Amino acid sequence: MNIKEELKNKSQNIRSDLFNFSFNCRALNYRSLLKGFNKPIFDLFDITYKNLTIDKKIKNLFHGEEINTTEKQSALHHVYRDIFSDKPNNFQSNQLLEECKDSIEECIGLRSKLINRGIKNIVTIGIGGSFEGPKLLIETLTNPSSRYFNHIFLTGPDHIEFKETVESLKQEETFFIVSSKSFTTDETLQSLKLSKSWILQNCSFDDHFIAITSQPDKAKELGFNNMITFPNEIGGRYSMWSPISLPAILELGNDFIEFLKGGGEADNQLLYDNEYKKFIKTLSFSDLWYSNFNQRETRVLLTYSWKMRFFKDYAQQLEMESLGKQPNQNSIFQKTGQIVFGGFGSTAQHSYFQLLHQGTSSICADIFTIEDYRVKNKLLFAQSQAQANLLAAGGNADLKDHEKVNSDVPTNLFTLKTLSPFNLGYLTASWEHRTFVTSQMLEINPFDQYGVSAGKFFTNKYIDDHKG
């Protein structure tokens, strides 16, 4: 019997006990509450992991080898996590490391310059990874009352969005960050056109615009003289470690370096710490197990921390854009990435939790909380613990027949020690590792997005076909 047949056979004889695995480090605690997933199943997946030489592919990623096979290039987002690391991997050239370090320091230094000029409003033009990463950092790690700037994210081409968010501002107090890897993104170019026309009514373009890009020549063609660049080998949804996060860096300053260090620690653990690797494998293997052999193709992300509510948006793009592809014909898996959605836990309990508890849809769950909420916010912490246990194991002995719940939702419980830049960096990099290991198990490339490109192509074709 081959591995695929063994997994199918085990899926037909699912036991009701929970797979209890925990991982603890200085950044977070993790506990699995995975019904129908056990050590024999883990071991079968691990055989596949070894057969696919994924440890070697992890090293190839960090060594800067051509891991993005369709675009024939490396993936270098992790380099920014190495430049300030206490334990640098030093797999990249010193020149690249210095260039990346200089670009982050330039971003940090820009804050005082803008404040001295009387800038009060930062308008970030960007979409996808150019939006989700900086937005997550600002909302999670800063407080509105203590921010240096009023931040506005302009994400689309709708003139109404621009009118309602920008036109009431004073031009002389407003600075635009145009974040685009390629400067070919239609939504960004349209927003740039509207913004440029507005600023030129009273101010100069050079004084109020900066480009963050991997294509400086494209930016120059559009009139930019001020720009900060990053390597072309960094994909949009992996770019939050780079100058793309300038809006957040303007607020965080040196705390952004702590965010990078947290990611760097997760990188080192993926390379050298077997217990951490088991943690990542547990996440990846169980995702694949439930989606491919248990018809659970949807996973909900629930944050029992208001500050973390945007993490699900970041994770959604990372996973669905990286893993939402056709399976390799040689793969033992027929289903690739799961559908990811979610929100703030307390709100979700009064909207779609009814479906989770008593509906017929088969769903998995990731739940997040903060350890110090155990004292600072007892209700939120209690909700995270109670809901995790209720989803995974139920509590039907205390319920009437019509109140009984499904009690079979496979659940991962993540508890950050504190909500700090370092810990968020650690969690975010770990999510990338989860995604990368899953992609290698599926034998797909997580760094391209030709489905997104197809949408751009046919939109422009429609416009060309309907001119006049």
pLDDT at 398 over 80: no
pLDDT at 1 over 60: no
Given the structure tokens 């804050």, which residue do they identify?
A: 111
pLDDT at 92 over 80: no
pLDDT tens for 358-396 read 888 899 999 999 999 999 999 999 999 999 988 988 776
Q: Where are the domains of the chain?
A: 3-51+273-446, 93-257
- Predicted local confidence at residue 16, as pLDDT: 65
d(CA 161, CA 194): 11
Q: Same CATH fold, 93-257 and 3-51+273-446?
A: yes
pLDDT tens for 305-342 read 999 999 999 999 999 999 999 988 888 998 999 999 99
User: Coil, strand, or helix at residue 299?
Assistant: strand
Catalytically annotated residue among 39, 63, 113, 456: 456
Beta bridge partners of 303: 344, 368
Pairing between strand 18-19 and 28-35? Answer: antiparallel
Which of 342-370 are b and which e, b meaning 16 or more Cβ less than 10 Å from the residue's Cβ? bbbbbebbeebbeebbeeeebbbbbbbbb
The pTM of this model reads 0.94
What is the enclosing helix (H) or strand (E) of 274?
Answer: helix 274-293
pLDDT at 106 over 90: yes
d(CA 320, CA 291): 14
Determine the Cα angle at 147 with ends 145 and 151, to 5°: 110
What CATH code is assigned to 3-51+273-446? 3.40.50.10490
- Predicted local confidence at residue 453, as pLDDT: 62
User: Coil, strand, or helix at residue 211?
Assistant: strand
- Predicted local confidence at residue 143, as pLDDT: 94
Q: Residue 403: is it exposed, middle or buried by C-beta count within 10 angstroms (0-12/13-18/19+)?
A: exposed
- 201 pLDDT band, cuts 50/70/90, is very high
Which of 285-302 are b and which e, b meaning 16 or more Cβ less than 10 Å from the residue's Cβ? bbbbbbbbbbebbbbbbb
Catalytically annotated residue among 350, 402, 466, 467: 350
| DSSP state letters, 104-123 | HHHHHHHHHHHHHTT--EEE
Catalytically annotated residue among 132, 139, 251, 321: 321
- 457 pLDDT band, cuts 50/70/90, is low
pLDDT tens for 221-257 read 999 999 999 999 999 899 999 999 999 999 999 999 9
Q: CA 38 → CA 162, 256, 446, distances in Å?
A: 52, 39, 27
* Over residues 201-207, mean pLDDT: 96
Q: Helical H runs in 70-157?
A: 79-82, 94-116, 129-141
Domain 93-257 architecture: 3-Layer(aba) Sandwich (3.40)
- Predicted local confidence at residue 15, as pLDDT: 64
Residue 321 annotated as catalytic: yes
Q: What is the mean pLDDT of the chain?
A: 91
Q: Are 156 and 193 in contact (CB under 8 A)?
A: no
- Predicted local confidence at residue 8, as pLDDT: 82
Lowest mean pLDDT among 5-9, 209-213, 341-345: 5-9
